[in-house]
Structure 1
């Protein structure tokens, strides 16, 4: 169980029978943002800043959201349904039902392929999946289609395209800064608004543990339920300046509280560090 599951559990208990809209207004957040955090489909996380703000407003101890409290029922894991079965389980079921005529070598290949780590929602907890330990590691590549133009609604269940095999040592030699290789994932940008830095369909290396603004740079973020890859600069206390590298696209100002950072772009897979 990760920190975001614990926070969601505590958030549900805190809201109780209260109206979600009233809670969102009291906590200074958009109702849609709160609904996304509570939803089982969008899997948007309760970030550090928002968690601390709610604790302060509600008079709760700092860090209250981050642990299970005595006397509470443990978080119940739902029973796996057929739609939630892993690829390995589904392949095993298929082979048991109709795989009698399949050669043994083919059966083993199917099982081996199904046992590769699977992709889940880009916005969900699958980002904690670690790569293979060693000098060369596998980095998961997600088909998220983060838009570098007018924004794009993310797939609810994006499919993994392929894994990229890289050397963490070589990445650092190229100037890519990161703590652990399993913090890194690959996504694909779409559109021309970040050209020439990022061209249409360029693969992007991102650090998914960066969920807050850490200084000027290129981020993967959602705003008004759209997904973007853009430069962000802080403008005042409550606004970001959203910048496109393509000079034909004018900068825009967006509200910090309506902007949910999902990762920071570290490297463009066309040889462009950022």
Structure 2
């Protein structure tokens, strides 16, 4: 089995789309697609490591099938004490017909305790930051710049800056609607083609859970290997119209099947609701 086949098998196991894996691994959907289909002959190691992290396995396992196998769909590892005990219990139910239920449970308990003791020398610590206060949420700020002009190179593994903390009530008052605040991301627009709506270097709040066209609006998307922030409208069954709000920049038709939507822009952080 090749690396793309292993990745695709794990996606099917979890019922993840390419877009969902891309979101969880913080890489682009086209990158995921090329790796799965074998179009990327020498995938970047950091992309493979990001995918492995999303699956809870080692990069070695993705390449060779050896090493740390993927975690369960619920995030549990088969090699964990609880996971091992469940496997043992299942085996006993199938093959331990001569044992009482109490005896089977004692064996499982012994397996769990022995595995826990084997890893008891690990020191754990909680490095989580204090949670937001009241109705505050944190919006992750990524080093992603979407060109409002000729396009930017797509970041396969963007750096994350300091989070933005904001009141949900304040966003509601500004007319911003979303389903899950965990999907809100802060990115930056560069260029002049979307003025006066978006100025150069304006921070933008986007909803990264929106990976498909859901109506006229401004989207962050990849097209022909470049990353854009533009207004999209459906021109016909095969094309979007990529629109610049600045009248000095020409609009153009782009193929829908070559356009990979990464997020919908909800708000320019100068209180312009979109």
State the TM bucket, normalised to the shorter chain.
Answer: 0.5 to 0.7
User: What does 1:110-125 correspond to in 2, within 5 Å?
Assistant: none
CA deviation string 1:116-172 (max 9, x = no partner): 69xxxxxxxxxxxxx858411111111111111100002332212221110112101
Correspondence for 2:177: 177
CA deviation string 1:74-130 (max 9, x = no partner): x771169xxxxxxxxxxxxxxxxxxxxxxxxxxxxxx99x7569xxxxxxxxxxxxx
Change (3 A) 1:253 1:209: same
Separation of aligned partners in 2, 1:237 and 1:192 = 29
Q: After TM superposition, give the deviation of residue 205 of structure 1 in Å.
A: 0.3
Correspondence for 1:207: 207
Correspondence for 2:58: 78
User: What does 1:21-60 correspond to in 2, within 5 Å?
Assistant: 34-35=33-34, 41=44
Unaligned runs of 5+ in 2: 1-5, 14-29, 49-54, 61-124
CA deviation string 1:32-60 (max 9, x = no partner): 883155566568xxxxxxxxxxxxxxxxx
- Say yes or no: does 1:195 pair with 2:175: no
The alignment of Structure 1 onto Structure 2 pairs a total of residues equal to 178
Correspondence for 1:143: 143
Q: After TM superposition, give the deviation of residue 227 of structure 1 in Å.
A: 0.3
CA deviation string 1:155-196 (max 9, x = no partner): 332212221110112101110011121121100111111111
Correspondence for 1:155: 155
Correspondence for 1:240: 240
Separation of aligned partners in 2, 1:151 and 1:79 = 32
Question: Alpha carbon RMSD of aligned pairs, Å?
Answer: 3.3
Separation of aligned partners in 2, 1:254 and 1:162 = 34
Q: After TM superposition, give the deviation of residue 271 of structure 1 in Å.
A: 1.5
Separation of aligned partners in 2, 1:79 and 1:258 = 29
Separation of aligned partners in 1, 2:36 and 2:273 = 32
Contact 2:221 2:263 in 1 (8 A): yes
Correspondence for 1:64: none
Separation of aligned partners in 1, 2:149 and 2:136 = 34
Larger CA Rg, structure 1 vs 2: 2
Separation of aligned partners in 1, 2:235 and 2:248 = 21
Correspondence for 2:227: 227
TM-score (norm 1): 0.57
Unaligned runs of 5+ in 1: 1-5, 14-30, 44-74, 81-110, 118-130
